Amino acid sequence: MKYDHIHISQRPLRTPRAAAIAGILFAMMQITSNVIFLVSIPADSYYQTDWLEEQARNITFALGLVPFAGIAFLWFMGVLRDRLGHLEDQFFSTLFFGSGLLYLAMTFATAAIAGGLITVYAVDSDLLSNSDFYMFGRATIYKFNSVFAIRMAGMFTIVLGTIWFRTQLMPRWMALFTFFSALTLLIGISFYPWITLLFPIWVLITSICVLVLNYRYNQEQDGVTLEK
């Protein structure tokens, strides 16, 4: 009886079968928040602050989703790494982790700055409107989100596309779609802001694909067990 705690503590950790659902949750929350941002924040908002008052409630709701989307994205990264298993390579893993965490950090930074602008405007709207801080904050939000974060997302996808193409852990069409998404994120964001929606859509498709593959694998394992 005294050895029970030793036996329990030595049980290996296993990835939950439903962990891939985290990617779907991330995609839903990130798409929702991105759409709200794109619709609520006007393109010429560098010189006007009226939108801060008119869209404060919608933007605050969207900002509230960002931390939970980030948590779900970390789970999603864990699912992808678990799928690599013994095929994991140190070089590609470094690029995978680095680009994913940088994307997440910049997304959080963008949300924090946007939340700061709304808070300051609520306290003293005239102070924010008549200072250079607003224009600096607005420009920083744009640069973080549309230049740096989304290109880190492109790097994240192109690394995974390369891994999947070489290891064949995912279907060939998924690897090709990943390469297409990566190039679009790296280049297309300069021409069309709505390109930001492509990354969570890619995560959604990837998560569904992983769930389907895991289901098929479990069915095959159950079949082998029954034969034995």
Average pLDDT, the chain: 82
CA gap 36, 18 in Å, rounded: 28
Instruction: Write the DSSP symbol of residue 49.
Output: -
Average pLDDT (33-38) is 90
pLDDT of residue 220: 60
Q: What is the pLDDT of residues 102-147, one digit of tens each?
A: 999 999 999 998 888 888 888 877 777 777 777 888 888 888 888 8
pLDDT one-digit tens code per residue, 71-99: 999 999 988 888 787 777 788 888 889 99
Which residue type sits at 109?
A: A
Cα–Cα distances (Å) from 165 to 75, 172, 176, 220, in that order, read: 23, 7, 8, 24
**How far apart are alpha carbons 109 and 113 in whole angstroms?**
6
Amino acid, single-letter form, for residue 68: F
28 or 54, greater pLDDT: 28
- Quick one: pLDDT band at residue 6, thresholds 50, 70, 90? very low
- Which residue from 72, 68, 76 is spatially nearest to 20, judged by alpha carbons? 76
Q: What is the pTM of this model?
A: 0.83
CB atoms within 10 A of CB 29: 22
